[in-house]
Structure 1
Amino acid sequence: MLQTSLVFLLVLSSIQNVVSVPMQVPLGNSLTSSRQRRKLQGRFLHVTDMHPDPHYRPGMSEDSACHRKKPKKTKRRSGDYGMPYSDCDSPVSLTNYTLDFLDKKWSSDIDFVIWTGDSARHDNDRKLPRTTKEIYELNRLMASKMENAFLKKGIPVIPSIGNNDIWPHNIMMPGPNDITFEYSSIWSSFVPFHSFQVFQRGGYYSVEVIPDALAVISLNTMYFFDSNKAVGGCEARDPQDPGNLQFDWLEVQLETFRNRGMQVWISGHVPPSAHNYYPECHIRYVELSLMFQDTILGHLFGHMNADHFFFLDAQVVANSNLNRSSDEPNGLLKKKHSELYDGLLKDFAHMEKRSKKIDHDNFAVVNVAPSVVPNPYLPSFRIFSYNITGTPYIPDLHSDRSAGLSKDVPRYHLGDSEVHSDLCRDSGFSNKSWLCQPSKPWKSNPNSPSRTNTLFTPLGFAQYFMPNLTTTKKSPPKYKLEYMTFSPASLHASAGLEEEMSGNVRYPIPLRHLPRSLRNSTVTKSKYAPYEMRDLTIPSWTDLARRLAKPKHEKLRKTFRKFMYMGAEER
């Protein structure tokens, strides 16, 4: 019966798509008034890992993936909208409720949507294994919901392929292949026409969400993911490896956007950590992130389900071939998911000890968002705010040193230490590793939007979650503010007197989406604002990391851990 209902929904969605869903059209702003379609809001949505499960049934046991077996009275049962802190996926009622909520409450307040994959259920029930057909049907259903909620209103949606969006789980052969062709169809409204050929080859593409000003690059992280045994792992001696081909494409994209004076968000499913990526893929990712630090605003990913951030650190990656133990810097990247918190603190402590003055040229920041699926924590999504009134950053295109402010050209990738020199004299090592290939100049600049607050700089995010899933369809659950990175004062600071009088007040987060306690402009402290970050630039993130590294900030650490696991124990 569930399968029949799902098929009916898919057929209905397909008919609606043919009739009314337009191809993706980027937003306009004052910089591109001739193509303006919607008023720019200065906010966007990041949503990830929805994992809809059409076989989910209320009142069932966690042991059966919430598919069957009514448990004993003393045990927990699946609810109408999901089972929190469990191994069960999302009932369709939860994913529908979430997207309907975002449609009704947020679509008028955002400019674009970053959607970082995993829109099919996990393969966690041996008695009911997944099929390719079901995976694609679920993705079509989610794509249809996204189209109706956002695309029809002129809001660009940028999806990414997740490791559970393919079959077999985690395995994706070099393209073009059946997966890239199928998602070319499923996402035909999302992927710009000029990107179709590249997408069909590799499953990655870029979208100009504000023409000639701001772009989002969606990566296919399956070609970097070390669980994908169908690829070679970006080895330098294999230029045709699909991971290398994607990085070659990415470099051209970043260079092109930089030459046009544009800024870029990078998005994808699996985060770029040494724990998740093949070593050589990780080296290339970090290298490109730092080469184009003045063009990349940030890195947004999902997959891990636990709320956290980490750094792409040039020094740590450069020493990654020295067989460090898990207790050494960046140890979190070699640890199990359940030890993530401790690993992060060790990383932050290493940053704190290394130098009193951090060289921000050596860092990029990765933000990993928690999931919609309550597996293993609670449903959530993020609303980012960014600057739409600052001064444009104009890169110096005639100097390798970015107006004399960037790093000198290193001899080898990510630095030129004695260790590198010794390693790279070994031809057996140098032929295999990107660490020993000639490096290009790093284009970093303290005046760029990733380093200082100017046009398109990310200002902060508000994270919403669903704290109570033990509700019924007669009394559905509610999304509430969990926390935000802003200070309470900054929630009201963007409204000048002239704007107030004209009625054109713009707030980082619209006041109606905030608890009543934060709507008062006189509030200076709040439980919802523990970090009080001035913005989301690299210096702001390193400042937060260094505060978390100090044992004297035990209260801040506890708060950080609470948000990471949403009040539960590590799973």
Structure 2
Amino acid sequence: MLVGPLFCLFELFVTAGTGASPVQKVFDTSTVNRPRQLQGRFLHITDLHPDPFYVPGTSISKACHRKIPKNEENRAGYYGTPYSECDSPLTLTNFTLDFLEDHWAGDVDFVVWTGDNARHENDHKIPRTMNELYEMNDALTKRMNDIFMRRGIPVIPSLGNNDIYPHNIFGPGPNHITNEFLEIWQSFIPFPYHQVFRQGAYFAVEVVPNALAVISLNTLYFYDANDAVCGCNYTSPEDPGNLEFAWLESQLKSFRKRGMQVWVTGHVPPSNYYPECYVQYVDLALKFQDTIVGHLYGHRNADHFFFVEAKDMELTNKTKRASKRSDLYDSLLDDFAKLPKPKKTDLDEYAVINVSPSVVPNPYLPTFRIFTYNITGVDNALVFGGSDRQMNAINVRAERSFDQHQEQRFELSECKDELYRNTGWECQPPTSADAPSRVSRLWTPLGYAQYFIPHLKDANKFGDPEYKLEYTTMDASVLLPREGQNRSSFWYPIPMRNLPKSIQNGKMKEKYFPYNMEDLTISSWLELARRLGDSKERRLREKFKEYMYLGGGE
């Protein structure tokens, strides 16, 4: 157990969750049995990095742990220290979770929580321990259970590279980490996946049973900083990365067969994978473009997106891994500028990776995202009920058609060769041109709203911070009902109370709508990327960079 000053700070952290049931027990069915309609929204939150040793007023150069510098500018703030290498004080972590409970808990259908729930290894005088990491994850889990699971809202966590000790290094399971996290996250992980999780720390959750699932990957088995694995080397079939990809493909085949859609989530994005892991990821992302509705990651802390492409699959020493270079902004613009024109673009060859910025103000500002997705055609009687969250609704699955071009690709002569038949996306059944990742239909992601704390330094001096809308990918016209529309029956992508007063009053300030995207389909992302790749779009590029670094430097 934690002792001394660490325990005192930790006690402050868990106070808000003291009424929660023990993590080792699945909540009583009475707590998840409440009827609940779909809202068409979900939360993505990542990289909280709570630091129980953080002490306000101490030196930034000492990880905000000790010594009081003479210069006030070099002192740790009460709610956090933006644009520094200090992690989150427990005051910020508590404030963020309280804010989500007060403002969003009743308005989302599920929560994607992509890891790093412990401090960085940034102070050699206070070395991390595995016990501390377990304690932090356990405390956050109790709060997530109390805020969301008690309302019947599924939470899907992922293991971060700083959730383990030593950080980044994670060997094959079962091991003490997979066993311990299975206990900590037992209320999140469906029972049929317990053995799989014990083996590799990955699993899936049907967030809308029989219709929509979230797959949580253990990206540490692909991460190029993990020296305990073989990097998906094709000569090592028992490498844990290869085993995880085999499991992932099996899951995607099963969900496809059932007519379901899937979000693929994890901590480390593909831009940081070993080359052979990266190629396998691209292969599955394209092969199951009809089933995967989107890809969500954290880890990088910087707000950005990139594409995985068919041309990346040629495995050489120069295999491209998007946005791996340190000059993230410039490298992305360079990649976007090389995209083909719309008429020369084969959408089969692209998938979009969304990387969300972090809660920890290291090195930027605290953020979280609310995604909206299409629930058109779902019966209003759709509810979750019963201990297994059975769905009572119309049949929401839809038939999909294959276009002629895709059929031709599937019949390539090379695919008849046994060497190629079961490998490569080109030799697999074709994706669907009318899949939710390609056209706006049921389950298609429509946009997201990003919230942040813009004046964290002021909050440290003058009072509580405030999460505000930073921007939304959506067009202003979809946020409020048009003149003559019935306001009571209008579906608000963002609940009115969570919009700035100016928008509530009908004043659509341009700063909130930099992209004006129709939806988050692959073609919409390609259109935005082409605009960003155009050197004449200086204003758009400036906004993109501002959002990427939240006003800070690279």
TM-score if structure 1 supplies the norm length?
0.86
Measured in 2, the distance between the counterparts of 1:267 and 1:3 equals 32
The 8 Å contact of residues 217 and 264 in structure 1, kept in 2 or not, is answered as yes
Any residues of structure 2 matched to 1:90-101 within 5 Å, and which? Answer: 90-101=88-99
Give the drift of 1:62: 1.1
Any residues of structure 2 matched to 1:478-557 within 5 Å, and which? Answer: 478-492=466-480, 497=485, 500=487, 503-521=488-506, 523=507, 526-557=510-541
**1:301–1:187 distance in 2 versus 1, CA, 3 Å:** same
The equivalent of 1:348 in structure 2 is 336
The equivalent of 2:325 in structure 1 is 335
Give the drift of 1:77: 1.0
Measured in 2, the distance between the counterparts of 1:20 and 1:465 equals 33
**SS of 1:237's equivalent?**
coil
The equivalent of 1:467 in structure 2 is 454
Measured in 2, the distance between the counterparts of 1:505 and 1:441 equals 41
Unaligned ranges ≥5, structure 1: 29-34, 325-329
The equivalent of 1:118 in structure 2 is 116
**SS of 1:90's equivalent?**
coil
Measured in 1, the distance between the counterparts of 2:324 and 2:512 equals 32
**SS of 2:279's equivalent?**
helix
The 8 Å contact of residues 27 and 150 in structure 2, kept in 1 or not, is answered as no
The equivalent of 2:318 in structure 1 is 323
**SS of 1:104's equivalent?**
helix
Q: Deviations over 1:240-289 (max 9, x none)?
A: 1111111111111111111111111010000012xx10111111101001
The 8 Å contact of residues 52 and 138 in structure 1, kept in 2 or not, is answered as yes
Give the drift of 1:76: 2.2
Give the drift of 1:158: 0.3
**1:263–1:493 distance in 2 versus 1, CA, 3 Å:** farther
Give the drift of 1:472: 4.0
The 8 Å contact of residues 377 and 442 in structure 2, kept in 1 or not, is answered as yes
* 1:69 is aligned to 2:67: yes
* 1:476 is aligned to 2:480: no
* 1:394 is aligned to 2:398: yes
**1:496–1:295 distance in 2 versus 1, CA, 3 Å:** farther
The equivalent of 2:219 in structure 1 is 221
The equivalent of 2:345 in structure 1 is 358
One-letter amino acid of the structure 1 residue matched with residue 302 of structure 2: A
* 1:293 is aligned to 2:289: yes
Any residues of structure 2 matched to 1:25-174 within 5 Å, and which? Answer: 37-73=35-71, 75-174=73-172
Higher mean alpha-carbon deviation, 6-15 vs 50-59, is at: 6-15
**SS of 1:454's equivalent?**
coil
The equivalent of 1:327 in structure 2 is none
Measured in 2, the distance between the counterparts of 1:524 and 1:11 equals 40
Q: Deviations over 1:78-137 (max 9, x none)?
A: 111000000000001100100010001110111100000000000000111100110110
Measured in 2, the distance between the counterparts of 1:169 and 1:301 equals 18
One-letter amino acid of the structure 1 residue matched with residue 323 of structure 2: L
**SS of 2:447's equivalent?**
strand
**Residue correspondences, number:** 532
* 1:250 is aligned to 2:248: yes
Measured in 2, the distance between the counterparts of 1:372 and 1:323 equals 34
**1:458–1:232 distance in 2 versus 1, CA, 3 Å:** same
**SS of 2:299's equivalent?**
strand
**1:526–1:110 distance in 2 versus 1, CA, 3 Å:** same
**SS of 1:527's equivalent?**
helix
Measured in 2, the distance between the counterparts of 1:19 and 1:435 equals 42
**1:15–1:560 distance in 2 versus 1, CA, 3 Å:** closer
The 8 Å contact of residues 50 and 89 in structure 2, kept in 1 or not, is answered as yes
**1:480–1:408 distance in 2 versus 1, CA, 3 Å:** same
**SS of 1:107's equivalent?**
coil
Measured in 2, the distance between the counterparts of 1:150 and 1:54 equals 24
The equivalent of 1:313 in structure 2 is 309
One-letter amino acid of the structure 2 residue matched with residue 114 of structure 1: V
Give the drift of 1:10: 8.4
One-letter amino acid of the structure 2 residue matched with residue 2 of structure 1: P
The equivalent of 1:367 in structure 2 is 354
Percent identity over the alignment is 52
Measured in 1, the distance between the counterparts of 2:120 and 2:194 equals 28
Measured in 1, the distance between the counterparts of 2:490 and 2:24 equals 33
The equivalent of 1:32 in structure 2 is none
One-letter amino acid of the structure 2 residue matched with residue 308 of structure 1: H
**1:495–1:181 distance in 2 versus 1, CA, 3 Å:** farther
Measured in 1, the distance between the counterparts of 2:99 and 2:40 equals 20
Q: Return the match for 1:279 from 252, 275, 280.
A: 275
One-letter amino acid of the structure 2 residue matched with residue 91 of structure 1: P
Q: Return the match for 2:200 from 193, 199, 202.
A: 202
Measured in 1, the distance between the counterparts of 2:154 and 2:482 equals 25
TM-score if structure 2 supplies the norm length?
0.89
